[in-house]
Structure 1
Amino acid sequence: MAERIALSLKPDFASGRWAWSLMGECFGSTGTVRAQGREDAVLCALAAAYPALRTRVPAYVVVSLPPTARLWSFVVEVEVHFSGVSLVPCTDADAPLRAAAMRAFHPAQPVVAPPTGSLTVATDGSATRGRIGWGWLAEDGRHGHGTETPSVRQCARRRHPVLAELRAISEAISALPQHHLVIRTDCRAAVSLVEEWAVGGHRLPDGYVATHHTAVAPGGLLWMQEQVRKEAPRVDIGWVRGHAGDPLNEGADSLAKLARRAAEGTWGFTAADVPQRAREIADAFTTAHQTTQSADAA
């Protein structure tokens, strides 16, 4: 019976090299290759690993690529060139192998204390006219917000809303390192991406240019992808209906709009006014959240 072996890739766009990791139940191999893109990196990694893979054939090499990837048109040629090796798409059952392949990129870390307590956090994004804003609000009143004008070479404008949502999620994860986070967002697309990243998936939003240098900088999609994989054990993400009266969600929405509109100057106040206004928003909506929780418990 053919062994399933997961292939995971990690790009370093500054050097043009890709780290690769192949992990199966009875097989493991890692290395780096120079490649022009993810599909090219798959082939280069297979070429580098094939001397070791030949001892395990027949083998299915599991890769995470979109159904529209050109490489799927050449699987027969791949099988001819790498005898005994077949490229196949990953499935939910491959998640443990994918996770093992991702762990190979990170050296063993010292044992640290587990996160303390569970904290519910709402996140939200706002986007219009080429500018995005994001905000997050925790049930204990802690909060954050930010704004940015993404380069059109980095991300198509139609995908700005998803980018803003993901920035909010990422900022909350970074700002609250000592807690297990119950993150709630009203963006299903962001929930789906984070859930896939947590188990080693590579999918990015349509319209995002992963080869742009900002992709691997803090706040870039590939940077956030790695962050989610590392922090996955302490993050529980789920969807909540937006604008349906959930105080934390409404507060996160207000913080995202505050950040964006302050930068645009459309609300008639300056950046210096933002911290105080953000604190007022956070206090009002966390108080409403606590009141709702007390009423539900009564």
Structure 2
Amino acid sequence: MVQVPQARPRRVDLVFARPRPAESIAIALAEAAFGYRYAAVGESWSCTAAVAAPNPEVAVLDAIAAVCAGRSESERFRFVVNLSCGSPLWRYAGQISEAASDWWIGRPDHADRSLMAAAVARVHNAIPEQSVPLPSPRAVDGGRVTVASDGSVRQRHAGFGWLASSGDYGLAGYRSSSRRVGSQPVLVAELRAIGAAVCALPRHHLTVLSDSQLAIAMVNRWKRGEPAMPADYPAEEPDREHCLHAARRRIYVERDRIELRWVHGHPGDPLNEGADGLARLGSRYRRGDADLDEDEYHRRAAGIAQAFAAEFRRVTSVPA
């Protein structure tokens, strides 16, 4: 029996794809008058620059975008940053890395100590900026909103509130002392209200109504890029939240969408009266008034906001 020849498949050498090696880059931040300076240090190169960012997390992402824009598209990067463990960036680091194809963010480990030390040294030795750079672009496409802000100080307890024509609102209470807020607690409460409104209403052109001429003057200084603060307000420290430092940076970055307008205190303007009611409610709740449990606190806040915002819309819709 003759054996029939069988075709043999061609031998193919299989080579599995390997990910391109990633370069580790350490990023260190330092606060500047208008935002942050940063230093990015890799294994064979480094750079320093400044970004107009409202908080460290945005500054890190702006720095990463600048580094990636200046490098080859074929490169891959592993960025390590010295943000605190409590930074909100770490909650979203996985999602951010999934959205980016060529880089990711991580906490520095033992092998990154020399890179991080070099980045920290470089950012602190950088020459201070001589001029204020243009802010990072921020989209503003949500329409115009009028918002009133107010603060309330009751000895050791303070509160602030804001109320928008859209019906959005916010309030909070906190412990007030010279060590925590300096020697102008009323001004601090007013500024915290304005900062909270700006943060809570992004992408809108805001007309902010305030009955505090001192607060309006301070915010206008922030819009010009000045590092001004109320008297004796504590300096920003790592791993500590100082609301006005973050508010100052954010207001500078987003200054083009913020207009300030002074109004007489308690003139019967619905938004101003509503913001005052929210601020006093916040300070009362922080003080621990017996008639304000958590449910009642939220119920009253929602009622104040709904009633005064509706009255504002009614009044402003009536022809003069």
Asked whether the two chains share a fold, i.e. TM above 0.5, the reply is yes
SS at match of 2:208: strand
Q: 1:260 aligns with which of 280, 283, 291?
A: 283
Matched residue, 1:217:
241
Q: Which amino acid aligns with 1:222?
A: H
2:281 equivalent to 1:239: no
CA distance in 2, matches of 1:146, 1:285: 18
Richer in helix (by share)? 1
In structure 1, stretches of 5+ residues that fail to align are 1-7, 13-18, 22-30, 35-43, 50-60, 62-97
Matched residue, 1:121:
147
Alignment of 1:188-207 (within 5 A): 188-207=213-232
**How far apart are residue 267 of structure 1 and its match?**
6.0
SS at match of 1:217: coil
Q: Which amino acid aligns with 2:155?
A: R
Between the aligned residues of both structures, percent identity stands at 32
The 8 Å contact of residues 236 and 245 in structure 2, kept in 1 or not, is answered as: no
**How far apart are residue 230 of structure 1 and its match?**
1.1
CA distance in 2, matches of 1:264, 1:32: 42
**How far apart are residue 207 of structure 1 and its match?**
2.0
SS at match of 1:153: helix
Q: 1:171 aligns with which of 181, 191, 196?
A: 196
CA distance in 1, matches of 2:34, 2:291: 44
The 8 Å contact of residues 34 and 252 in structure 2, kept in 1 or not, is answered as: no
CA distance in 2, matches of 1:175, 1:165: 16
Q: Which amino acid aligns with 1:201?
A: E
Q: What is the aligned residue count?
A: 209
**How far apart are residue 33 of structure 1 and its match?**
3.0
**How far apart are residue 20 of structure 1 and its match?**
8.6
In structure 2, stretches of 5+ residues that fail to align are 1-31, 37-47, 51-121
CA distance in 1, matches of 2:284, 2:216: 25
Q: Which amino acid aligns with 1:175?
A: A
2:282 equivalent to 1:282: no
CA distance in 1, matches of 2:168, 2:149: 12
2:229 equivalent to 1:138: no
Query: CA-to-partner distance for each residue in 1:72-128, whole Å, 9 max, x for gaps?
Result: xxxxxxxxxxxxxxxxxxxxxxxxxx5xx243xx6x55xx64322110000001112
Matched residue, 1:71:
none
TM-score, normalised via structure 2 length: 0.58
1:166/1:176 CA distance change after superposition, 3 Å: same
CA distance in 2, matches of 1:150, 1:267: 20
The 8 Å contact of residues 199 and 229 in structure 1, kept in 2 or not, is answered as: yes
1:11/1:281 CA distance change after superposition, 3 Å: closer
The 8 Å contact of residues 132 and 148 in structure 1, kept in 2 or not, is answered as: yes
Q: Which amino acid aligns with 1:176?
A: L
1:211/1:20 CA distance change after superposition, 3 Å: farther
SS at match of 1:293: helix
1:276/1:203 CA distance change after superposition, 3 Å: same
SS at match of 2:162: strand
The 8 Å contact of residues 35 and 249 in structure 2, kept in 1 or not, is answered as: no
**How far apart are residue 211 of structure 1 and its match?**
4.5
The 8 Å contact of residues 33 and 226 in structure 2, kept in 1 or not, is answered as: no
TM-score, normalised via structure 1 length: 0.62
SS at match of 2:172: strand
CA RMSD of aligned residues (A): 3.0
CA distance in 2, matches of 1:151, 1:102: 35
